[in-house]
Amino acid sequence: MEGLLDGKVALISGTGGGQGRAAALAFAREGARVVGCDVDEEAANETVRLVEEQGGQMISLQPLDLADPTDAGRWVDSAVRAFGGIDILYNNAGALHARGPFEDSTLEQWDRTIRDELTIVYVACRAAWTHLVSRGGGVILNTASVSGHVELFPLRSAAHGAAKAGVIGLTRMLAAEGAEHGIRALSLSPGVTRTPATQRFWSGTNEQRALGAAMIAKVPSGRAGEPEEVAEAAVFLASERASYINATDLLIDGGLRGISFTVME
């Protein structure tokens, strides 16, 4: 039985764990040859092992800083050398460095968050763009967030919200410019999702668990999402079954944005 992504070459960033690992496993299961990367060498290598264990094909470069054009170029070039080109770029990686009330935020936190959540997407897209054009088209998937639409009080981060809203806007611009080249660009906006990065909300301090409970209370589905649920949506969007879906942001948030609203304290 053919997979949804048979023969495709997919670059997926942040494959060391969480949503990136789930995506690597799902894309490989559907027949894609996966090229991953991460800042955590041990975790990234474990993902490669898991993909190969299930019969998939994956290579990975790590440690890698995709906000550095040189590193991003090496990553893209490794896929071209190994597999002859690229078809899918999934910008999953990111890191939030600013949390809390706006009045307590700093310019350093702002700069680091914008760099590691928005600039990182721009740089990787820039590195892959000419390869996608020469390939005759492809798909760009960018991980945004429900926070790009609404603030998840009591979780506060102006920098995070601004960066993820920027990812959504950048994606639309890429779709507009890419259309003539056969390139589709879409963003995915997960809501409250269980990953290593959010583990503190379920098993951290009393304050952290209370914050997690407050966020879950706003989700109509009554629970957090799982990385695999985001990965399955990404597989569909990257496939030919979604060939007429472009320049849009897919909310994967259990209905939070659709039928809820921000409650100001």
Please report whether residue 85 resides in a domain: yes
Q: Give the pLDDT mean for 52-65.
A: 96
| Range of lowest pLDDT (73-77, 140-144, 156-160) | 156-160
Please report whether residue 3 resides in a domain: no
Please report whether residue 151 resides in a domain: yes
Please report whether residue 153 resides in a domain: yes
Number of neighbours of residue 245 by Cβ within 10 angstroms? 13
Number of neighbours of residue 81 by Cβ within 10 angstroms? 9
What domain range includes position 18? 9-195+227-248
Total domains present in the chain = 1
Please report whether residue 128 resides in a domain: yes
Please report whether residue 217 resides in a domain: no
Please report whether residue 66 resides in a domain: yes
Q: What CATH number does the domain containing 96 carry? A: 3.40.50.720
Please report whether residue 28 resides in a domain: yes
Per residue in 35-45, pLDDT (tens digit) is 999 999 999 99
pLDDT of residue 218: 87
As a whole number of angstroms, the distance between CA 119 and CA 14 comes to 15
Per residue in 237-260, pLDDT (tens digit) is 999 999 999 999 999 999 999 876
Token pair 């849009």 in the structure block, residue: 248
As a whole number of angstroms, the distance between CA 170 and CA 106 comes to 24
